[in-house]
Amino acid sequence: MNSAVSNRQSVISTVDPHSGFSPRQFAICLKGIVWRESLRFLHQRERFISALVRPLVWLFIFAAGFRQVLGVSIIPPYQTYILYAEYITPGLIAMIQLFNGMQSSLSMVYDREMGNMRTLLVSPFPRWYLLCSKLVAGTAVSLLQVYAFLLIARFWDIGPPPIGYLLILPALVLSGLMLGALGMLISSVIKQLENFAGVMNFVIFPMFFASSALYPLWQVRESSPLLYSVCKFNPFTHAVELIRFALYAQVNWTSLAVVCGCTALFMLSAILAYDPSRGFLARRGEAAGAA
Amino acid sequence: MTTPMLSVEAVSHSYGARRALDSVTFAVAPATFAVLLGLNGAGKSTLFALITRLYATQRGRIQIFDHDVERASGEALRILGVVFQSRTLDLDLSVMQNLMYHAALHGIRKREAKTRADEVLARIALNDRAYDKVRSLSGGQMRRVEIARALLHRPRLLVLDEPTVGLDINSRADILRYVRQLVADHGIGVLWATHLIDEVADNDDVVVLHQGRVLAHGAVSRVVEGCGVTNVRDAFTRLTRSDHSTVEAG
């Protein structure tokens, strides 16, 4: 190893810790976290491909197979009869974000086990800000996946009005934040990576199937009023409907309120869970060993 | 009196009924290489988790310079450099990308971060590996990158939790020499946790931690003298075998 540096100032802090951080420094921190998440995503090509293949399989195979079986009547926001493939497209978009949110959660558990998470948590920025930045980064990654899916779907004759591609953006940001915050909350209660398989069975599948992603809720009500109630209270249903309406240049106000409320609730819970004085991490005694 | 770089006052921590730390008290002065010496399970990693605020302090007080880790965690973490026991580098990113990420987490602008990264990499003789993936580095090189990363935001206190575990003898010696040099040349305070007695030098300070309690702390020569033995190994053995008294050396 080389000898030490001659310039004392280059090692010793010249920072006044009392001075706090400027808005620009907050922006640098956010940018750094988004940049790192994007790099990780781009390096994991399999993740990108599987994130695309999953909804495309549903669109190309499932929707084609069930085209004649599942009839969709004219329901808002649609003004005419539509093909089943068109109906499930918003559901598949939300599915991409749901999987992405859970993938982020998985990577947080992995980072905690591998120790990378500590790098984030010992940053001097407020912890709530670090977690929110992480959430924004995950949402940004999900946007890339959604637009790649919409591009391919366009060649499959899934063509919402062109303005829909722009108007869907705020809806995607909100639903991405909600599902990412849910993933973050889940990551705080999962002790080991191995427990993550349970998330598939107890979170992803029930959320996806008990929603309006694959079938309109009036059809569900006809077969089971109880299931209908479950679907109506499922936040994922509202993410799907928010996206569906936005894609056709409309706003579903109920869904907007539910998604905003759930985002705030999940995020607040995740921040509390990662707070050293209140959180699950401290109670489990994890940071010293594996976190 | 000089403000200590690190001050740990009557800190206790429990996991449920199990007490991991029991009224731990010691301080690290500026420009001091302090060794936190303890066997596995002594409570070193718990103490590190408290200093770095991964855990909240249940009882007692920890201050970095004059910033309380609980009440002013941002200020405290800003002047603290940390090297954890487990590897915390992102293996799939390059050395430079890891350093730039750390710089962003401290709000350092890109251009400034690049300059500092080049500087610290040159210092650890790894500038030719800057754009290699971390995965391709040896264990010793990864440790050096972690130390370089911990210095990137120019901390006043550097804490290292068993940084030489799993390294060969040459890498261990290199890293020790480098960190001691930082203390000598730049006045950084260092807390070096280890269970390897041969990493303690005669002019260091030492804190002997055993089963969550501080059995001795102060200059090595004083601790050795206080135990009535001739070297630190014997002092450690004597202290941990008859764990009933506390030796304090100024």
Q: How confident is the model at residue B245 (pLDDT cuts 50, 70, 90)?
A: low
- What is the share, in percent, of chain B residues with pLDDT greater than 70? 96
Would the pLDDT of A117 be above 90? no
In tens, the pLDDT along B30-78 reads 999 999 999 888 899 899 989 998 888 899 999 998 899 988 888 999 9
A235-262: average pLDDT = 94
Sequence ranges of the domains in chain A: 36-284
Identify all chain A residues contacting B123, using CB atoms and an 8 Å cutoff.
2, 4-5
Q: How confident is the model at residue A246 (pLDDT cuts 50, 70, 90)?
A: very high
How many CA atoms, within 13 angstroms, populate the side-chain half-sphere of residue B25?
Answer: 8
Please report the pLDDT score of residue A17 as a whole number.
56
Q: Residue A73, class by beta-carbon neighbours within 10 Å (0-12 exposed, 13-18 middle, 19+ buried)?
A: exposed
pTM for the model stands at: 0.83
Would the pLDDT of A287 be above 50? no
- Which superfamily does B6-79+155-248 belong to? P-loop containing nucleotide triphosphate hydrolases (3.40.50.300)
Nearest-by-Cβ selection for B105 from A1, A29, A44: A29
In degrees, rounded to 5, the angle at the alpha carbon of residue A230 between the alpha carbons of residues A227 and A234 is: 140
ipTM of this model? 0.85
Contact B181 A3 (CB under 8 A): yes
Q: Which of B67, B60, B77, B63 is nearest to B20 (CA)?
A: B60
CA dihedral of residues B78, B79, B85, B87 (deg, nearest 10): 50
- Residue bearing tokens 């004059």: B66
In tens, the pLDDT along A92-101 reads 999 999 988 8
CA-based nearest distance A282→chain B, Å:
6
Tell me the CA end-to-end span of chain B in Å, nearest whole number.
14
- What is the share, in percent, of chain A residues with pLDDT greater than 90? 37
Identify all chain A residues contacting B42, using CB atoms and an 8 Å cutoff.
none
In tens, the pLDDT along B97-145 reads 999 999 999 999 999 999 999 988 988 888 899 999 999 998 888 988 9
Helix ranges, A45-83 (H) = 45-57, 63-65
Q: How confident is the model at residue A86 (pLDDT cuts 50, 70, 90)?
A: confident
Calpha distance B152→B32 (Å, rounded): 20
Sheet holding B18-28, edge to edge: B18-28, B6-15, B59-64, B67-68
CB B151 within 8 A of CB B158: yes
Backbone angles phi, psi at B245, to 5 degrees: -125, 160
Please report the pLDDT score of residue B244 as a whole number.
52
Would the pLDDT of A221 be above 60? yes
Contact A114 B187 (CB under 8 A): no
CA-based nearest distance A191→chain B, Å:
16
Contact A124 B77 (CB under 8 A): yes
Q: How confident is the model at residue A38 (pLDDT cuts 50, 70, 90)?
A: confident
Identify all chain A residues contacting B119, using CB atoms and an 8 Å cutoff.
5, 10
Sequence ranges of the domains in chain B: 6-79+155-248, 89-153
